[in-house]
Amino acid sequence: MLIDFNTYFCLRRKHFCLATFISLVLCLWLSSDIQAEDWLKDRKNSTEQGYAEVQFILSALNYNGEGVPEYDRSAVSWLLKAAEQGDAEAQFNLGLMYHSGEGVQKNYVFAAHWYLKAAEQGLAEAQFNLGLMFESGEGVPENYLTAVQWYLKAAEQGLAEAQFNLGLMYENGEGVPENYLTAVQWYLKAAEQGLAEAQFNLGLMYENGMGVPEDYLTAVQWYQKAAEQGYAEAQFSLGLIYQNGMGVTEDYLTAVQWYQKAAEQAHARAQFNLGLMYQNGTGVRENDLTAVQWHQKAAEQGLAEAQFSLGLMYQSGMGVPENDLIAVQWYINAAEQGLAEAQFNLGEMHYLGEGVQQNYIVAADWYLMAAEQGHARAQLSLGLMFYRGKGVPEDQVQAYAWINIAGAQSNDDSHKEFRETVADSMTRDEIARAQRLSDELWKAFGPARKTK
Whether 193 maps to a domain, the answer reads no
Whether 72 maps to a domain, the answer reads yes
Give CA–CA dist 282/165, Å, rounded.
Answer: 38
Flag whether pLDDT at 186 surpasses 60.
yes
Residue 15 maps to which CATH number? Answer: 1.25.40.10
Q: Name the residue among 59, 95, 12 with its Cα closest to residue 51.
A: 59
Flag whether pLDDT at 5 surpasses 50.
no
pLDDT of residue 448: 55
Task: Report DSSP letters for 267-311, one per residue.
Answer: -HHHHHHHHHHHHHTSSS---HHHHHHHHHHHHHTT-HHHHHHHH
The sign of the torsion formed by the CA atoms of 298, 300, 305, 310 equals positive
Give CA–CA dist 194/62, Å, rounded.
Answer: 33
Give CA–CA dist 100/328, Å, rounded.
Answer: 44
The sign of the torsion formed by the CA atoms of 354, 356, 358, 359 equals negative
Give CA–CA dist 107/121, Å, rounded.
Answer: 22
Confidence grade of residue 59 (pLDDT, cut at 50, 70, 90): low
pLDDT of residue 38: 56
Whether 185 maps to a domain, the answer reads no
pTM recorded for the entire structure: 0.83
Whether 204 maps to a domain, the answer reads no
Flag whether pLDDT at 39 surpasses 80.
no
Provide mean pLDDT across the span 381-410: 96
Q: Which percentage of the chain shows pLDDT scores above 90?
A: 78
pLDDT of residue 111: 97
Give how many domains the chain has, as a whole number.
1
In tens, the pLDDT along 282-318 reads: 999 999 999 999 999 999 999 999 999 999 999 999 9
Provide mean pLDDT across the span 266-278: 98
Whether 254 maps to a domain, the answer reads no
Whether 49 maps to a domain, the answer reads yes
Domain extent, residue 73, equals 1-142
Whether 291 maps to a domain, the answer reads no
User: By the 8 A CB rule, do 347 and 385 touch?
Assistant: no
Whether 348 maps to a domain, the answer reads no
Confidence grade of residue 2 (pLDDT, cut at 50, 70, 90): low
